[in-house]
C-alpha cells in the first residue's frame, strides 16, 4: 500500500448525518489521511480555503445545497478539488450527472471500505499531479517576469534553437552582446542547462 | 295672612327708626363711647367749674378773712409790744442812777421858769450815755416834767421843735401819772406819749420823764420789723376815714382815704389796746395787698382745673377701654351666635357684617333671627300639616289598593270603614256597610260566635304584644255565597275609643291551588325512573320505587346516609350550584345520575337513567374504530416503506464504516485503545438507533389496545417529523420547527397521535409536490391556545384545498389523490375525538393550508407550568 502521496492532503467529508460523518472520518483516518467533516455544503464553503490540497467526500442528499449542487458550484467557480460522491440509493441519472461534473467515483451505501478508500486515493493522486504542474508553471512565470524585453526576445530565440550568431544578425547587435544576454537569462531563469530552459519555455507557453 | 301683616308693620317701624339707626350702626361702640364721654365730660365740666369756682372762692375768702383777722391781731400785738418797749425805755431812763443823781440836788421852783433845752450836741446829763444799745428805738423828744406837769427840761436829738398843741395844754396830758403811755393826735399827726415818774436818790418824787414818739412810718415799720413787708400797718382816722401814717408810705400814702385804699388792699381796723382812756378815736389798720391773694386763689383754681382735666381724661379713657373690651366680646359673641344660628337653622346666609356698632348689629341680628325662627316654625307647621295630609292620603291609598278586604269596626263590632276590596268581595257599597254589624253582615252564621271570641282574644293578645294571628273561617257575601277567608284582627287603641282593623283574604283559590300542589307532589313517586332527594348531610330524604337498585348498590335505605364518596359529590354539587352528571356501575347495570342542586333548600335532586345498553354500543363502536385506525396505519406504513428503509440505511452504513475503521487500525496496530473503544461505542449507538427505528416501525404496525400515557406533545411532533425524514429528503425539503419552548403535557395514546401528525405531514408534502423547490415551506408549530388547549399545527404553502373539497374533507373514502384510500383525515378526526381533542382545517386556495390538532392539557402540564 503506497501511502506516501496521501500524507499532506486532507479529505473533506460533507454529510448531514452526524453518525455517517463520524464513521467516515474514523474509516478514512485509519489510512492516515487527516479528515475534516462538515454538516452541510454551506458550512464547507465557509471553511474551505482554495489552494488546500485534498479531496471531497460528498453525500448526495442533504438539506439545502445537495452534494451534486456543491460539485457543480465548485466547477463553476474554478475551484479544482476532486470529489467522491456517496449516496444511499443512487440511480443512473444521478450517477451520470456526478461523473459529468468530474467526480472521481460514485459509490452507493453501504459500501466496501476498500472501494471508498481506493477512490479517495485516486482522487488525491489526481489532485497532487494537478497541483505540481500548476506550481511549476507558477514558478516559471515568476522568473520570466524578471527578464527585460530584450532578454525575453533572446530567450525565445534561444529556445527556438537559433544560434548566437543568428540571433545577433536578426537583432542587429554583436554576437558578444547576445552572449552576455544569454548568460543573464540562464541566471535569472535558474536554468542549469539549455535543455532545462527549453522545458521552462514549454511550460510557460502551455500556460499562455 | 296674620303673619304677613305683622311682618309689614315691623318693617315700617324699622324704617322710622332706620335713619338714626343707620347713623349709629356705622359707628363702632368704642368710638361712640369716646364721643359720649367727651360731650358729657364737657357739660359736667362747665357746671362743675362754675360751682366749684364759686365754692372755692368763698372758702378762700373765709380763710382770707380769718387770716386777715389773725394778721391784724398779730400786727397789733407786735405794735403793742413795740410800744411797750418804749415804756420800758422810759422806765429805764426814769429810774436810772444818773437821773436820780441829777435830780438829787434839784428842787423845782414853784414858779414857772424857762425850759432848759438840750440838743444833739449837748445831751442832758440825766440821759444815760449808752443809749446806743437801744437799737432803732428813739424818741423825737425827751422831756423832764415836774410833778405839776410843767416841762422843765427838753431834749430833742433832732433839734426839732415840740408840737404846739402839746405846749398849749400840756397838763392835760402830762400832769397825771396815771396815763403811762397813750396815743394822741398832735398837729394832725399821731404821737405816742410815754411817761414814767422819777425820783431822786432820796426817793422824793420829782415829776416824770416823758417821751414823745411820732407814730410815723418809721415807727410802724420798726414795729413790724420781722414780718413780710407786704403786710402794711397804718394808723387810721375813723372820722375822716383817712390814713394818718403807714408803715409803707410809698404804697399807702398818708392822707388817702380808706375808700381809695380798699381797691388795692384788704383793710382791717382795730382800736388800740389800753388806750381807751384816750379821747382820741384812732384805729390801728392792717392792710393786705389784694393782688397776692387773688394770684394765690387763681393758682389754686388753676391747679384744681388741671387735676380735674387729668381726672376726666383718665375716666374717659377707662370708659373707652371698657367699651372696647365689651365690643370685642360682643363681636365674638356675634360671630359665634351667627355661625350657631346658621348651623341650627341651616340658613345659607352670608357671614354677618360685624363692623360698626355691635350692639345695634346684635339687636338687628336677634330680630332677624327671631323672624327666621318664626318662619322656620311656620314652615315646620305647614310641613307637618302637609305630611299629615299625605299620610292620610297614603293610608287611604293603601286601603284602596289593598288586595285584602280591610274593614274597621268599633268595639261593639259596628262597621266604620269598608275598603273597595271589601266592597267588591262582599258586594256591599261603603254606605250600605257602614253602621251595620260586621258579624251579621259578613261572617258566615256558623262562625259568628267564633268571631266574637276572636275579637276578645285579639284584645288579650294585644295587651301582651302578641303578633297578629291568622285565623281561617268562613264569610258570606251578599248573595249568600259562603267562602273561606283568612282573618287577622288588629285592635287599635285610639285616644277615646277602641277600634279593630280586620284584614280578610279570600282563600278559596288558594285552597284549590294547594290541592293541585298536593297532587303534583305525587309525580316522582309515579315516575318509572329513579328519583331521589338527598340533603346536604348526605341523608336520602326521598327515594321512589325505581331507585331500589341504586339504594341496594349503595347499601342504604331512605333516611339513611350515603357512602362517603357520594356524600362528597352531593356536597360539591351544592357548593358549585350547578348540575353535574355522574355514572355509577352497579350489578344491575350502568346508571347515569344527574345531580340537580336546589341550593335555597339545601338539597339535591338526583335523576337516574339506566345507560347499560348505550355503554355496550359505545364499546363496540370504539373497538371497530380502533381496528380501522390500525388498518389505516398499516396502509400508511406501506406507503412509507422506502423512506423507512433509507432511514435504516444510515445507521447501518455508519456501523459498517466504524467496524471497518476498527479492523484497519487493529490490523496496522495503530490507534489507541480509547479511540477504538469510542468507535465501538459509536457502533453500538448506531445499532441502537437502527433498533429504535425498527421498534417504532413495529409499534406502528402492531395491533394493540390503545393506552393513555403522559407525553410531551413536542416529542410526538419531532418523532413524526423524523418518521417522514426520508420523504423530506427525497423532496429536498426541510420542516421549519416552531415548537413551543415549554413542554406540552397531554395524556394520549402516542402511537395514534403520531399517526395523525404523520398523516398531516404527508398530506402537506403531497400538497407541496407541485410547488417549486425554493418556495416550499412546511412549518410545524405547537403551543397553548388562549382557551388553554394545547395544539400542534402543520402548515404548508401548497395550492390549498378547493371549497368543494373542504366540504368533504373529513368524509371517509374521499380522496383527491390517485393512490389515496381516502381514510387519513377521517381516521385522524376519529382519533382526535377519542382524545377529547379536535382536528381543524383552514385553507386558502393558492396560498396553502393549515391543519391543527387540539388536545386538552393534562394535569402534569399544569404542574410543569407552575414549576
Same domain, A121 and A157: no
Same domain, A95 and A159: no
Highest mean pLDDT among A89-93, A104-108, B210-214: A104-108
B557 by DSSP, 3-state: which? Answer: coil
Q: How far is A86 from chain B (nearest CA, A)?
A: 11
Q: Which residue has the cell 339545601?
A: B602
pLDDT at site A11 = 92
Domain that holds residue A153: 146-207
Contact status of B686 with chain A (Cβ, < 8 Å): yes
Same domain, A112 and A156: no
Same domain, A61 and A150: no
pLDDT at site A14 = 92
Contact status of A164 with chain B (Cβ, < 8 Å): no
Identity of the residue in B665, B729, B734 whose CB atom sits nearest the CB atom of A30? B665
Which of the pair, B850 or B624, is modelled with greater confidence?
B850
Dist CA B749 CA B766 (whole Å): 26
CB contact at 8 A, B560 and B540: yes
Does the pLDDT of residue B446 top 90, yes or no?
A: no
Same domain, A127 and A150: no
Same domain, A72 and A153: no
Find the range with the poorest average confidence among A174-188, B229-243, B495-509. B229-243
Interface pTM, i.e. ipTM: 0.71
Question: In this complex, do A20 and B670 lie within 8 Å of one another by their Cβ atoms?
Answer: no
**Is residue A203 in a domain?**
yes
Dist CA B11 CA B30 (whole Å): 29
Identity of the residue in A26, A88, A109 whose CB atom sits nearest the CB atom of B679? A26
Question: In this complex, do B657 and A26 lie within 8 Å of one another by their Cβ atoms?
Answer: yes
Does the pLDDT of residue B488 top 80, yes or no?
A: yes
Same domain, A103 and A10: yes
Residues B251-270: what's their mean pLDDT? 79
The three three-digit cell numbers of residue B173, written as one number: 396830758
Window 128-147 of A: residues touching B by CB (8 A cutoff) are none
Minimal-distance CA residue of chain A relative to B729? A61
Does the pLDDT of residue B319 top 90, yes or no?
A: no
**Is residue A104 in a domain?**
yes
Does the pLDDT of residue B168 top 60, yes or no?
A: no
Question: In this complex, do B656 and A23 lie within 8 Å of one another by their Cβ atoms?
Answer: yes
| Domain endpoint, select from A132, A161, A196 | A132
pLDDT, tens only, B600-622 = 888 898 888 888 888 888 888 87
Please give the sequence-ordered ranges of beta strands (E in DSSP) within B278-436, or none if there are none.
283-289, 405-410, 415-418
pLDDT at site B9 = 44
Residues B540-548: what's their mean pLDDT? 87
Does the pLDDT of residue A159 top 90, yes or no?
A: no
**Is residue A141 in a domain?**
no
Question: In this complex, do B734 and A30 lie within 8 Å of one another by their Cβ atoms?
Answer: no
Contact status of A89 with chain B (Cβ, < 8 Å): yes
**Is residue A137 in a domain?**
no
Dist CA B473 CA A13 (whole Å): 112
Same domain, A17 and A116: yes
Question: In this complex, do B655 and A64 lie within 8 Å of one another by their Cβ atoms?
Answer: no
pLDDT at site B821 = 63
Does the pLDDT of residue B174 top 60, yes or no?
A: no
Q: Which of B516, B468, B505, B471 is nearest to B490 (CA)?
A: B468
Same domain, A99 and A124: yes
Residues B536-563: what's their mean pLDDT? 87
The contacts found for B367-375 with CB under 8 angstroms, 24 or more apart, are: B369/B337, B369/B341, B371/B7, B371/B10, B372/B341, B372/B345, B372/B347, B373/B345, B374/B3
**Is residue A19 in a domain?**
yes
CATH topology of B402-513 equal to that of B522-610? Answer: yes
| B344: CB partners within 8 A, 6+ apart | none
Same domain, A101 and A186: no
* pLDDT band per the 50, 70, 90 thresholds, residue B10: very low
Does the pLDDT of residue B257 top 60, yes or no?
A: yes
CATH assignment of the domain containing A106: 3.40.50.2300
Q: How far is B662 from chain A (nearest CA, A)?
A: 8
Dist CA B381 CA B658 (whole Å): 117
Contact status of A149 with chain B (Cβ, < 8 Å): no
pLDDT at site B790 = 92
* pLDDT band per the 50, 70, 90 thresholds, residue B11: very low
Identity of the residue in A17, A26, A63 whose CB atom sits nearest the CB atom of B734? A63
Query: Under CATH, to which class is B522-610 assigned?
Result: alpha beta
Question: In this complex, do A63 and B732 lie within 8 Å of one another by their Cβ atoms?
Answer: yes
Sheet holding B735-738, edge to edge: B735-738, B778-784, B790-796, B848-855, B838-844
| Domain endpoint, select from A90, A106, A132 | A132
**Is residue A140 in a domain?**
no
Please give the CATH superfamily to which domain B402-513 belongs.
PAS domain (3.30.450.20)
Give CA separation, B88 vs A64, B76, B303, B525, in Å. Answer: 181, 18, 50, 174
Residues B229-251: what's their mean pLDDT? 78
Same domain, A101 and A196: no
Domain count, chain A: 2
CATH assignment of the domain containing A192: 1.10.10.10
pLDDT at site B852 = 93
CB contact at 8 A, B497 and B410: yes
Which backbone phi and psi does B186 adopt, to 5 degrees? Answer: -120, 130
Identity of the residue in A26, A66, A110 whose CB atom sits nearest the CB atom of B732? A66
pLDDT, tens only, B352-394 = 566 677 777 778 778 887 888 888 899 999 999 999 998 888 8
Does the pLDDT of residue B351 top 70, yes or no?
A: no
pLDDT at site B283 = 81
Same domain, A50 and A118: yes
Which of the pair, A56 or B14, is modelled with greater confidence?
A56
Does the pLDDT of residue B112 top 50, yes or no?
A: yes
pLDDT at site B433 = 86
Q: Where are the domains of chain B?
A: 1-25+358-391, 60-293, 402-513, 522-610, 707-867
pLDDT, tens only, B743-779 = 888 988 888 888 889 888 888 888 888 777 677 888 9
| Domain endpoint, select from A132, A161, A191 | A132
Does the pLDDT of residue B627 top 50, yes or no?
A: yes
pLDDT at site A1 = 38
Does the pLDDT of residue A87 top 50, yes or no?
A: yes
pLDDT, tens only, B780-838 = 999 998 988 899 999 988 888 888 777 777 777 777 766 666 677 888 888 888 888 98
With helix as H, strand as E and coil as C, how does B598-638 read?
Answer: EHHHCEEEEEEEECHHHHHHHHHHHHHHHHHHHHHHHHHHH
- The CATH fold assigned to B60-293 is Beta-Lactamase (3.30.450)
pLDDT at site B4 = 44
- The CATH fold assigned to B707-867 is Heat Shock Protein 90 (3.30.565)
Cβ-based neighbour number of residue B750 at 10 Å? 19
Amino acid at each position: 500500500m503506497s501511502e506516501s502521496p496521501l500524507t499532506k492532503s486532507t479529505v473533506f467529508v460533507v454529510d448531514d448525518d452526524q453518525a455517517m460523518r463520524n464513521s467516515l472520518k474514523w474509516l478514512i483516518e485509519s489510512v492516515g489521511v487527516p479528515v475534516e467533516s462538515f454538516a452541510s455544503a454551506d458550512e464547507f464553503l465557509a471553511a474551505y480555503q482554495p489552494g488546500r490540497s485534498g479531496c471531497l467526500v460528498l453525500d448526495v442528499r442533504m438539506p439545502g445545497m445537495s452534494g451534486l449542487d456543491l460539485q457543480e458550484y465548485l466547477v463553476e467557480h474554478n475551484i479544482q478539488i476532486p470529489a467522491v460522491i456517496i449516496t444511499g440509493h443512487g440511480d443512473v441519472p444521478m450517477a451520470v450527472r456526478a461523473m459529468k461534473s468530474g467526480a472521481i467515483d460514485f459509490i452507493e451505501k453501504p459500501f466496501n471500505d476498500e472501494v471508498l478508500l481506493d477512490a479517495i486515493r485516486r482522487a488525491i493522486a489526481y489532485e497532487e499531479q494537478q497541483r505540481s504542474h500548476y506550481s511549476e508553471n507558477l514558478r516559471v512565470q515568476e522568473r520570466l517576469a524578471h527578464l527585460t524585453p530584450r532578454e525575453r526576445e533572446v530567450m525565445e530565440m534561444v529556445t527556438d534553437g537559433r544560434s548566437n550568431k543568428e540571433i545577433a544578425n536578426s537583432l542587429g547587435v554583436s554576437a558578444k552582446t547576445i552572449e552576455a544576454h544569454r548568460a543573464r537569462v540562464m541566471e535569472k531563469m535558474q536554468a542549469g542547462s539549455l535543455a532545462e530552459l527549453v522545458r521552462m519555455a514549454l511550460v510557460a507557453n502551455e500556460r499562455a | 295672612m296674620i303673619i304677613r301683616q305683622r311682618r309689614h308693620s315691623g318693617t315700617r317701624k324699622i324704617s322710622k327708626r332706620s335713619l338714626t339707626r343707620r347713623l349709629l350702626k356705622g359707628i363702632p361702640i368704642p368710638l361712640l363711647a369716646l364721643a359720649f364721654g367727651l360731650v358729657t365730660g364737657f357739660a359736667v365740666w362747665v357746671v362743675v367749674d362754675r360751682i366749684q369756682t364759686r365754692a372755692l372762692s368763698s372758702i378762700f375768702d373765709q380763710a382770707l378773712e380769718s387770716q386777715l383777722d389773725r394778721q391784724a391781731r398779730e400786727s397789733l400785738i407786735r405794735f403793742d409790744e413795740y410800744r411797750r418797749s418804749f415804756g420800758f425805755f422810759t422806765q429805764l431812763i426814769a429810774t436810772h442812777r444818773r437821773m436820780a443823781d441829777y435830780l438829787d440836788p434839784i428842787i423845782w421852783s414853784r414858779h414857772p421858769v424857762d425850759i432848759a433845752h438840750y440838743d444833739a450836741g449837748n445831751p442832758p446829763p440825766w440821759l444815760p450815755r449808752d443809749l446806743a444799745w437801744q437799737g432803732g428805738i428813739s424818741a423825737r423828744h425827751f422831756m423832764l416834767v415836774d410833778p405839776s406837769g410843767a416841762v422843765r427840761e427838753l431834749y430833742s436829738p433832732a433839734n426839732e421843735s415840740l408840737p404846739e398843741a402839746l405846749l398849749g395844754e400840756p397838763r392835760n396830758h402830762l400832769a397825771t401819772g396815771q396815763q403811762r403811755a397813750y396815743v394822741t393826735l398832735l398837729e394832725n399827726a399821731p404821737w405816742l406819749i410815754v411817761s414814767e415818774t422819777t425820783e431822786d436818790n432820796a426817793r422824793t418824787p420829782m415829776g416824770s420823764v416823758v417821751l414823745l414818739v411820732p407814730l410815723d412810718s418809721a415807727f410802724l415799720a420798726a414795729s413790724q420789723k420781722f414780718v413780710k413787708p407786704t403786710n402794711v400797718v397804718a394808723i387810721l382816722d375813723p372820722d375822716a376815714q383817712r390814713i394818718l401814717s403807714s408803715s409803707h408810705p410809698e404804697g399807702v400814702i398818708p392822707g388817702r382815704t380808706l375808700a381809695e385804699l380798699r381797691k388795692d388792699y384788704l383793710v382791717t381796723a382795730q382800736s388800740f389796746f389800753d388806750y381807751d382812756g384816750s379821747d382820741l378815736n384812732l384805729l390801728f389798720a392792717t392792710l393786705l395787698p389784694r393782688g397776692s391773694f387773688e394770684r394765690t386763689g387763681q393758682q389754686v383754681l388753676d391747679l384744681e382745673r388741671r387735676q380735674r382735666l387729668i381726672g376726666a381724661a383718665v375716666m374717659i379713657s377707662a370708659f373707652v377701654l371698657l367699651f372696647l373690651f365689651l365690643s370685642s366680646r360682643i363681636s365674638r359673641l356675634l360671630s359665634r351666635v351667627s355661625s350657631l344660628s346658621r348651623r341650627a337653622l341651616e340658613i345659607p346666609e352670608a357671614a354677618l357684617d360685624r363692623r360698626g356698632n355691635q350692639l345695634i348689629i346684635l339687636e338687628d341680628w336677634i330680630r332677624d333671627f327671631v323672624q327666621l325662627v318664626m318662619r322656620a316654625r311656620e314652615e315646620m307647621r305647614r310641613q307637618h300639616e302637609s305630611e299629615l295630609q299625605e299620610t292620610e292620603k297614603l293610608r287611604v291609598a293603601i286601603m284602596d289598593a289593598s288586595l285584602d278586604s280591610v274593614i274597621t269596626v268599633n268595639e261593639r263590632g259596628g262597621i266604620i270603614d269598608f275598603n273597595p276590596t271589601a266592597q267588591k268581595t262582599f258586594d256591599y257599597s261603603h254606605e250600605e256597610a257602614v253602621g251595620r254589624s260586621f258579624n251579621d253582615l259578613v261572617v258566615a252564621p256558623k262562625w259568628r260566635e267564633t268571631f266574637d271570641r276572636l275579637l276578645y282574644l285579639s284584645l288579650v293578645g294585644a295587651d301582651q304584644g302578641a303578633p297578629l294571628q291568622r285565623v281561617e273561617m268562613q264569610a258570606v257575601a251578599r248573595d249568600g255565597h259562603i267562602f273561606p277567608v283568612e282573618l287577622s284582627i288588629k285592635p287599635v287603641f285610639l285616644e277615646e275609643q277602641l277600634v279593630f282593623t280586620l284584614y280578610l283574604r279570600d282563600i278559596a283559590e288558594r285552597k284549590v291551588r294547594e290541592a293541585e300542589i298536593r297532587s303534583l307532589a305525587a309525580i316522582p313517586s309515579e315516575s318509572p325512573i329513579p328519583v331521589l332527594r338527598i340533603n346536604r348531610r348526605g341523608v336520602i330524604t326521598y327515594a321512589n320505587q325505581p331507585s331500589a337498585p341504586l339504594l341496594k348498590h349503595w347499601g342504604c335505605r331512605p333516611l339513611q346516609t350515603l357512602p362517603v364518596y357520594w356524600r362528597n359529590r352531593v356536597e360539591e354539587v351544592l357548593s358549585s350550584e350547578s348540575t353535574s352528571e355522574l355514572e355509577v356501575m352497579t350489578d344491575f347495570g350502568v346508571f347515569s345520575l344527574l345531580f340537580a342542586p336546589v341550593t335555597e333548600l339545601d338539597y339535591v335532586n338526583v335523576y337516574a337513567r339506566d345507560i347499560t345498553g348505550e355503554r355496550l354500543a359505545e364499546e363496540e363502536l370504539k373497538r371497530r374504530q380502533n381496528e380501522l385506525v390500525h388498518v389505516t396505519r398499516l396502509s400508511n406504513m406501506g406507503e412509507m416503506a422506502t423512506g423507512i428503509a433509507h432511514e435504516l440505511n444510515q445507521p447501518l452504513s455508519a456501523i459498517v464504516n466504524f467496524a471497518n475503521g476498527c479492523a484497519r487500525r487493529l490490523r496496522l496496530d495503530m490507534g489507541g485503545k480509547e479511540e477504538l473503544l469510542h468507535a465501538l461505542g459509536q457502533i453500538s449507538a448506531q445499532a441502537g438507533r437502527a433498533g429504535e427505528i425498527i421498534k417504532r416501525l413495529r409499534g406502528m404496525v402492531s395491533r394493540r389496545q390503545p393506552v393513555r400515557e403522559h407525553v410531551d406533545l413536542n416529542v410526538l411532533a419531532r418523532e413524526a417529523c423524523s418518521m417522514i425524514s426520508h420523504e423530506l429528503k427525497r423532496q429536498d425539503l426541510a420542516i421549519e420547527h416552531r415548537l413551543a419552548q415549554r413542554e406540552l403535557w397531554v395524556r394520549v395514546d402516542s402511537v395514534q397521535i403520531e399517526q395523525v401528525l404523520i398523516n398531516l405531514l404527508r398530506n402537506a408534502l403531497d400538497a407541496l409536490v407541485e410547488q417549486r423547490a425554493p418556495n416550499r415551506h412546511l412549518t410545524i408549530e405547537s403551543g397553548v391556545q388562549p382557551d388553554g388547549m394545547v395544539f400542534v399545527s402543520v402548515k404548508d404553502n401548497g395550492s390549498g384545498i378547493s371549497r368543494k373539497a373542504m366540504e368533504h374533507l373529513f368524509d371517509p373514502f374521499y380522496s383527491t389523490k390517485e393512490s389515496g384510500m381516502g381514510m387519513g383525515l377521517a381516521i385522524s378526526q376519529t382519533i382526535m375525538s377519542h382524545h377529547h381533542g379536535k382536528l381543524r382545517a383552514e385553507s386558502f386556495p393558492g396560498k396553502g393550508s393549515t391543519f391543527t390538532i387540539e388536545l386538552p392539557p393534562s394535569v402534569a402540564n399544569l404542574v410543569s407550568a407552575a414549576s
